Amino acid sequence: MKPAPFKYIVARTIEQALALKAEYGDEGRFLAGGQSLVPTLNFRLTQAAVLIDINPLTQCAGMQNSQPGTVRIGALTRYGQLERNSETARDLPLIGEALPHIAHPQIRNRGTIGGNLAHADPASEMPAIVLALAGRLRAQSQSGERWIPAAEFFGGALSTALASDEMLMEVELPVAGPRSGSCFMEVSRRRGDFALIGVACTMQFDANGLCSQARIGLCNAGDRPILAEDAGNSLLGRNIGTAQIDEAAALVQQAIDPGGSIHASKEFQRHLAGVLTRRALTVANERSPREH
Amino acid sequence: MTADVTTDSHDIAVTVNGTQYRRTVEARLLLSDFLRHELLLAGTHVGCEHGVCGACTVIFDGVAVRSCLMLAAQTDGHTVMTVEGLASDRDHLHPLQQSMHDCHGLQCGYCTPGILMTMKVFLDETPAPNEAQIREALSGNLCRCTGYQHIVDAMMLAAERLRG
Amino acid sequence: MTTRKFGAPIRRNEDARLLVGQALFVDDVELPGLLYAAFLRSNVAHARILSIDVSAARARPGVVAVYTAADLGSYWAPGPLLVPPPPIAGIIFNQRTQVPLAKDKVRHVGEPLAVVLAESRYLAEDALADIAVELDPLPAVVDLEKALTNASATVHDDVHANVAAHLRQSRGNYAAARARAAHVIARRLLYDHGASSPMETRGVVAKWDGRADQLTVWDTTQAPVFFRNGLAAMLGLSERQVRVIAPFVGGGFGPKIMLFYPEEVVIPWVAMKLNRPVKWIEDRLEHFFATTQERGQTHDAEIALAADGRILGVQDVFLHDTGAYNPYGLTVPINSQCTLLGPYDIPNYDSTFTAVFTNKPIVTPYRGAGRQHGVFVIERLLDIAAQELNIDRAEIRRRNLIPPDAFPYNNEIIYQDFAPLSYDSGNYEPILDKALELIGYQKFLAEEQPRLRAQGRHVGIGVACYVEGTGIGPYEGAKVQVQANGKVSVATGIGTQGQGHFTVFAQIVADQLGVAVTDIDVVTGDTDQFYWGAGTFASRGAVVAGNAVNEAAIAVRQKVLKFAADHFECAEEDLEIADGQVSVVGVPGQAIKLGALALKANPMRGAVRPGTEPGLESTQYFGPPSGATASGVHAMIVEVDPQTFTLEVLKYVVVHDCGTVINPLILAGQIHGGVAQGIGNAFYEQLVFDEDGQLLNASLADYLLPTALEVPRMEIAHTVTPSPLNPLGIKGAGEAGAIPVGPLFAQAIEDALELPGKKIELLEIPLSPNRLFELTTK
């Protein structure tokens, strides 16, 4: 289990990283945390011609509240940094709740948010969370930058909207606001394993206590991270109780297309999606203060 | 454009356990293999080479990482600590090691160096952990011999000793 | 006299080296000029080999050699049969053992086809891609029942219907027992057991020294002496020309006792052929195919009971998956057959099994070695009987325990060591009582469970009994020698994989020779240090080698007393050995250190008198007449989420009787580790093969070893019924923790989810959330 040969180039500046990506295109892979990439290299499931190591770009790591109401997380921010930062639990409680489920401490110490999102594993936690938060992602290339809404970022089977010369720079997420609540839950075989099903949901209420916004993202529920839009929309304008939550959970079960695996059949995944949606929405609902 | 990958080697200077080493390494050489077979610091063990078992855990710039998921070339200019850096010799064990000995926290001992590295950083950051926190911190290190109970006991004892 | 070390929770002698990263494991062996091997392995389960072209691989820079079966010439031969079939009338056994490199046919995914030797493992792996193999795929034999039909493909062309073995053993008359039974229960039960997955995979390093005509092999084997003997024979060398070192080994659990693995045959041969040292380290991916495993059995079992729940008889017919070859004979299915009887008095027993060749990796013993399968059958049958007869689960077990005055208790069938399955000693009811007390059985059922259920929680309790045949022969030996510096060296032929041999053997010697445990250096697994022996298996290290160490230490003690009596011109009875010296009782200043006495026993002048030997050393052997039977009870309280089917073990209790305890700290560690593996087997670990014989979860991300979060804290208690079969009274303990966990999980989960009331039975292991969902919603 040793990787096949590749060329390794260290990018010392963002400009250099973008130039290298432009030069090598799909042959060049960014090496961020490497926690998903290197195992596949070791198994020789992936053969990368060129690895562009972007770890020296420390300016791309960290959380910033530059705009009121939003937080930007740099692509090279490691899970462990978010875990050790008390602002994560305050501003991004959904991420705070999900972090302990994401692999193990050593992986979180190295794995990066950007690397995870660009890898776009449908079973992974962060993509579902970014969908549930309706975040947006900034991509940059030598020819400029663009913001991509989360809902447009993830394609099928480990693919994203990133062009072959682009680098994911950061993700922007809304700060948890008043009269809002969120919840992340997943079922996995062992803690730290990929979810059999994971649910990330956010809810927002208006001054009358009616649901004004609801989003439900799911891990491992299809060939890509899934946002169950109909399920979320079904809650809008309503007073939320068991009946509404059950209805949303049923819509989630319709919206997903889980692949099944040796650990969980499609039927079990669908069942779990219903169970976890009910539970997560119930908790998020309870967590949402109606007063401001 | 196709890259020439046949002889991609890199000069690195890395500080391991306080000693600076200068070496030329092939791009694809894993940090675990570099430590074990180039620097002959064979205390770091390799159990799976896909980032699950934790046997190869080392401390890289102060945090615990899997050395099988890093390239030796990536350590240029950085610092690494391995199990060999924990005690000066067998008669002067670190409290973590002493506690593992006192509580029978190891059997075959193969996973032990990785566990020591993981828990070194954990106890530095969490000086008064409870059992649940210890188990959580340990969850990225597989042990096939002990059933973990004596390791958990050892970590409780080590935490107490380190608090002084 | 100093405090007795035997029986004390002594900390381990081997720890310091391991803790500072200085213990030598096979992959730590670095030699000048070392070559690295990588094996090309079949990616299909069953195929005829049409051609293998290695020319491109040979031409790759950095590659030194590439070999296939054709290159091995007359060295190529199927491996030895390690355990022949027992001499039982009517037995069928078709011996088909593994080959070093596949020739003509591949029979499981991962079977080696060629070996590449290169200047690094990286380069060797690169060259594997250069080898062109043409295979003509054949249908894979995967399902046991289909394998036995005429329509099935055959793993071995000349073995009809894939029957590897067939054996019936019986006691009494089951048919007659059934005829008078008040109640008969018949069920089909499935028990699957997985991969041992030690944290260190296997590895072989071989060095040929042409100047000394000496071959040295470092190997992760549990049986260095057998390996040395067999290797010498294969290579045409004398045993003395071959030194096998099993250094620190990172866990074994059974599969490292298997020999000869193809790599163990090929690597030493290559080292001699190329006259360069060669290293092969199995990677984790290879481990899932190249190292032996255990797997499934399908039991059609029937139990006949009297109205009061007394067992009148058991009939069992089962299929055993032996994989592509059967080098370990029938050890695993015979263990299943024998251990099914458990601690119970079962007067009529009729058991028949068929071992089946399949296109899957080879099955050999893994911790428990088939015992789990049998225990699952009897324990589940008793649970169902308790339910149907409306008898408490613990009570039905109690009513059937062999009474303490019935020992030695002969089950009248033949065990894996070919001796009658006779339990040497035991007292089972106190074990059950203790376990029920520790788990709080009555209180849980009467108070806690109703209270928790009223809160909507799903909690259940389980209790399972088992016996474990341990410490079988043939023999082990040990050499104990007092060194001039006062330390004592102990050498034995077994290998060690974490069991604490360096400490427990030292404890035995410490008591005889009055030396600190830390001043006793134990060497295991080096054939140049100790020539004879069998190996570490069947929970026998402490029992068999431990007693040999004891005999040798006693002999040295006698020499010490004799020399010292001469030295002080006193009677031996006047002497005391303690604190590393011999002293004359009651005469201050009259003392000599053991090291000084050892020097005197090896004089530079004068003659050693006839009938005496130089030095203070002795080599002794011990062979038990038959195995010692340990026993125990596990109990557990579990909470299950009825919607996600995830679970949490709230309490786990083990009460165990392994005779006299040498070191309770080490024993506890053995039990903890066994239970953890049992939990893995019960709820997490399963080797999933598809219909083509492909393993679908060959990684530690998908083959789920329990972590610190899945293994609960355990409470352990012991009862002590010494074995009469050895002077120390000990029984083995290595496998006990792993054996009864499957039925315990099934029983406790059934209870938690109140499945008996829903007429749902959990008749298979492993379970999983997915499987519980399927079983409870269909």
Q: Do B8 and A7 touch (CB under 8 A)?
A: yes
Q: Do B107 and C669 touch (CB under 8 A)?
A: yes
Query: In this structure, which topology does domain A180-286 adopt according to CATH?
Result: Enolase-like; domain 1 (3.30.390)
Q: What is the mean pLDDT of each run of 10 residues along chain A (292 residues)?
A: 97 98 96 97 93 97 90 97 93 96 96 97 96 98 97 91 97 94 97 96 96 98 96 98 98 97 98 98 95 70
pLDDT given at position B6:
57
B120 touches chain C (CB under 8 A): no
In DSSP terms, C189 is beta-bridged to C299
How many other CB atoms are found less than 10 A from the CB of residue C1? Answer: 9
C163 touches chain B (CB under 8 A): no
Question: A42: which chain B residues are within 8 Å (Cβ-Cβ)?
Answer: 30, 49-50, 68
SS3 state at C600: helix
CA–CA distance, C330 with C318 (Å, rounded to integer): 13
Domain ends where: B85, B116, B134? B85
Tell me whether residue B20 is in a domain.
yes
How many other CB atoms are found less than 10 A from the CB of residue B117? Answer: 30
| Strand positions, DSSP E, chain A | 7-10, 28-31, 50-53, 63-64, 70-74, 136-141, 144-149, 167-174, 180-188, 195-205, 211-219, 226-227
DSSP letter string, A31-87: ESS-TTHHHHHHTTS---SEEEE-TT-GGG-SEE--STTEEEEETT-BHHHHHH-HH
Q: Confidence class of residue B80 from pLDDT cuts 50, 70 and 90?
A: very high
In DSSP terms, A213 is beta-bridged to A204
Neighboring chains of A (3 or more beta-carbon pairs < 8 A): B, C
Low-confidence ranges of chain C (pLDDT < 50): 1
pLDDT given at position A37:
96
Which candidate from B1, B54, B69 shows the least CB-CB separation from A34? B69
Tell me whether residue B1 is in a domain.
no
Which candidate from A4, A190, A275 shows the least CB-CB separation from C707? A190
Burial C618-627 (b: 16+ CB within 10 A, else e): bbbbbebebb
Contact C678, C721 (CB under 8 A): no
C69-83 per-position pLDDT tens digit: 999 999 999 999 999
Measured between CA atoms, the residue of chain A closest to residue C688 is A262
pLDDT given at position A292:
64
Pairing of strands B63-66, B19-26: unpaired
Question: C122: which chain B residues are within 8 Å (Cβ-Cβ)?
Answer: 26, 28-29
Measured between CA atoms, the residue of chain C closest to residue B132 is C709
Per-domain residue ranges of chain C: 28-138+196-290, 390-470+626-777, 473-488+499-523+533-622
CA–CA distance, C59 with C131 (Å, rounded to integer): 11
| CATH number of the domain that residue B52 is part of | 3.10.20.30
Measured between CA atoms, the residue of chain A closest to residue C684 is A189
Rounded to the nearest angstrom, the minimum Cα separation between C640 and chain A is 13
B65 touches chain C (CB under 8 A): no
| Residue whose structure tokens are 């045959």 | C265
Tell me whether residue B3 is in a domain.
no
C116-126 per-position pLDDT tens digit: 999 999 999 99
Per-domain residue ranges of chain A: 7-53, 58-174, 180-286
Name the residue type at position C61: P
- Axis crossing angle, helix B149-163 with helix C664-679, rounded to the nearest 10: 120
State the CATH architecture for C28-138+196-290: Alpha-Beta Complex (3.90)
Domain ends where: B65, B85, B105? B85
Same domain? For B145 and B101 the reply is yes
CA–CA distance, C506 with C520 (Å, rounded to integer): 6
Length of chain B: 164
Q: Do B8 and A8 touch (CB under 8 A)?
A: yes
CA–CA distance, C601 with C561 (Å, rounded to integer): 12
Mutate to test the interface with B, among C122, C199, C284 (most CBs of B within 10 A): C199
C395-428 per-position pLDDT tens digit: 999 999 999 999 999 999 998 888 899 999 999 9
Question: A110: which chain B residues are within 8 Å (Cβ-Cβ)?
Answer: 60, 63, 65-66, 69-70
Same domain? For B26 and B81 the reply is yes
Report which of A31, A167, A53 is spatially closest to residue B76, judged by C-alpha positions: A53
Measured between CA atoms, the residue of chain A closest to residue B142 is A104
* Ramachandran angles phi, psi of C200, nearest 5°: -95, 125
Rounded to the nearest angstrom, the minimum Cα separation between C289 and chain B is 14
SS3 state at C20: coil
Residues 678-737 of C with CB under 8 A from B: 699-701, 705, 707-709, 711, 713-714, 737
Q: Which residues contact A21 (CB under 8 A, 6 or more apart)?
A: A28, A30, A52, A141, A164, A165, A166, A167
The pTM score is 0.97
Contact C186, C7 (CB under 8 A): no
Mutate to test the interface with B, among A26, A79, A99, A104 (most CBs of B within 10 A): A104
Same domain? For B14 and B67 the reply is yes
Q: Which CATH class is domain C390-470+626-777?
A: alpha beta
Tell me: pLDDT of B3 over 60.
no
Q: What is the dihedral of CA B22, B26, B29, B31, to 10 degrees?
A: 20
| Residue whose structure tokens are 């408490």 | C392
pLDDT given at position C607:
67
Residues 252-271 of C with CB under 8 A from B: 253
| CATH number of the domain that residue B159 is part of | 1.10.150.120
Contact C631, C426 (CB under 8 A): yes
Compute the Cα dihedral for C253, C259, C263, C269 and give only its sign: positive
CA–CA distance, C441 with C459 (Å, rounded to integer): 13
Total domains, chain B: 2
Domain ends where: B60, B85, B110? B85
CA–CA distance, A165 with A169 (Å, rounded to integer): 13
Residue B157 belongs to domain spanning: 95-163
State the CATH architecture for A7-53: 2-Layer Sandwich (3.30)
Q: Which residues contact C691 (CB under 8 A, 6 or more apart)?
A: C140, C142, C143
Neighboring chains of B (3 or more beta-carbon pairs < 8 A): A, C
Tell me whether residue B134 is in a domain.
yes
Same domain? For B103 and B55 the reply is no
Q: Do A103 and B122 touch (CB under 8 A)?
A: no
SS3 state at A29: strand
In DSSP terms, A222 is beta-bridged to none
Which candidate from A27, A39, A191 shows the least CB-CB separation from B50? A39
Compute the Cα dihedral for C681, C683, C687, C690 and give only its sign: positive
Mean confidence (pLDDT) of chain C: 96
CA–CA distance, B89 with B87 (Å, rounded to integer): 5
> C28-138+196-290 with C390-470+626-777: one CATH topology?
no
C320 token code pair = 């055993």
pLDDT given at position C605:
73
Angle at B117 between CA B111 and CA B120, to 5 degrees: 130
Question: B47: which chain C residues are within 8 Å (Cβ-Cβ)?
Answer: 199-201, 284, 700
Question: B118: which chain A residues are within 8 Å (Cβ-Cβ)?
Answer: 105-106
Neighboring chains of C (3 or more beta-carbon pairs < 8 A): A, B
Which candidate from A55, A80, A107 shows the least CB-CB separation from B51? A107
Rounded to the nearest angstrom, the minimum Cα separation between A1 and chain C is 6
C703 token code pair = 């083959």
Question: B71: which chain A residues are within 8 Å (Cβ-Cβ)?
Answer: 8, 31, 34, 38, 51
Segment C61-64 long-range contacts (CB within 8 Å, at least 24 positions apart): C61/C123, C62/C118, C62/C119, C62/C120, C62/C123, C62/C126, C62/C127, C63/C116, C63/C117, C63/C118, C63/C123, C63/C124, C63/C127, C64/C35, C64/C117, C64/C118, C64/C119, C64/C274, C64/C276
Tell me whether residue B114 is in a domain.
yes
ipTM: 0.96
Q: Do A191 and C707 touch (CB under 8 A)?
A: yes
C633 token code pair = 């009870």
CA–CA distance, A279 with A266 (Å, rounded to integer): 20
Same domain? For B100 and B127 the reply is yes
Angle at C179 between CA C173 and CA C180, to 5 degrees: 100
Q: Do C713 and B86 touch (CB under 8 A)?
A: no
B39 touches chain C (CB under 8 A): no
CA–CA distance, A284 with A276 (Å, rounded to integer): 12
Contact C601, C559 (CB under 8 A): yes
Rounded to the nearest angstrom, the minimum Cα separation between B89 and chain C is 7
State the CATH architecture for A58-174: 2-Layer Sandwich (3.30)
Q: Confidence class of residue B164 from pLDDT cuts 50, 70 and 90?
A: confident
Rounded to the nearest angstrom, the minimum Cα separation between A242 and chain C is 17
Which candidate from C125, C684, C770 shows the least CB-CB separation from A264? C770
Residue A185, judged by CB atoms within 10 A of its CB (0-12, 13-18, 19+), counts as buried
Q: Which residues contact C135 (CB under 8 A, 6 or more apart)?
A: C42, C44, C47, C48, C49, C50, C106
Q: Do B1 and A27 touch (CB under 8 A)?
A: yes
Which candidate from B53, B93, B145 shows the least CB-CB separation from C498? B145
Rounded to the nearest angstrom, the minimum Cα separation between A232 and chain B is 33
Question: A23: which chain B residues are within 8 Å (Cβ-Cβ)?
Answer: 1
Q: Do C708 and B151 touch (CB under 8 A)?
A: yes
State the CATH architecture for C473-488+499-523+533-622: 2-Layer Sandwich (3.30)
pLDDT given at position C56:
98
Measured between CA atoms, the residue of chain B closest to residue A32 is B70
